[in-house]
Amino acid sequence: MLQVQALAFYLISSGDHVDIATVFESIRPRYPEFKDQVALITGSSRGIGKGIALRLSREGMKIVVHGINQQEIDTTTQEFQSLGVETISVNANFSVAEDVERLFKTTLDHFGRLDLLVNNAADLFRYHFFDPNAEKRLDVQLAVNIRAPYILAMRAAEIMRASKRGTIINISSVGGFRAHWEGLPYDMTKGAIDAMTRAMALDLAQEGIRINAIAPGAIDVERVPPANPEQMREIAKRLPIPRFGTTLEIGAAVAFLASEDASYITGQVIYVDGGLTTQLSPPGTPV
């Protein structure tokens, strides 16, 4: 059932006509404790963040939709509100320090609480080590991929301490563990996110706040330019589970880690990658 849900959501993301209400209703809620809780998911106007937000909203959470493209933000917010989800939206550019603070303040001003922070937004650009613009692009990725999640986590922890409960989930990458070709500085920033997850988990464990990370592998999301289907099929053949993962499968992992079922899990990086990081080499090409 989950694969059917995920495929339908991918079709929505890629522009094909699928009723998002049908997808929403097909998701089976599992965590009643989420009802009326507030989730801030950065980068949730599209892609993995949108899949996470859709799953959490089906569990009864109130959602803060964040992005940097106003049209995408408006479209996603309208879709969620049409489903009866209590939603607000914020356009914030994480390369601007003031925008990070504004996003958090807007969340608290509207909802007055925060139960779950999902640090999903990231600058995904990868480039060759000797790129002449490497230093300039490094500054952007340090701001967006490390500084913003760090500041948001610190602000969230300040609020969560008062109630001695709350969850922070960082979206990392398999690149934080094993490098992509031409993976700098993206992989470096995701390795830092993994380290931040562990360090913060130790600092906040006795405050009742759990922090974990999810490292997606090859996930089927909308791409610009659109992905070549044949190329995607060839890539999928290299994976132990020979298909791309989906945004709703990442959403399912987030929901579990935020739930009471995961109450004894903190400081972990969970790989949702179809076995990618497990193998030494792709199928058929032994080392």
* Residue 127 is a catalytic residue: no
User: String of b and e for 175-214 (b: at least 16 CB within 10 Å)?
Assistant: bbbeeeeebbbbbbbbbbbbebbbebbeebeeeebbbbbb
Rounding to the nearest 10 degrees, give the CA dihedral for residues 90, 94, 99, 101: 100
Q: How many CB atoms lie within 10 A of CB 21?
A: 12
Angle (CA) 235-185-212 rounded to 5° is: 80
Contact present, 52 and 121 (Cβ < 8 Å): no
Task: Identify the active-site residue in 127, 186, 264, 271.
Answer: 186
Query: Which amino acid type is present at position 200?
Result: M
Q: Which residues are designated catalytic?
A: 186
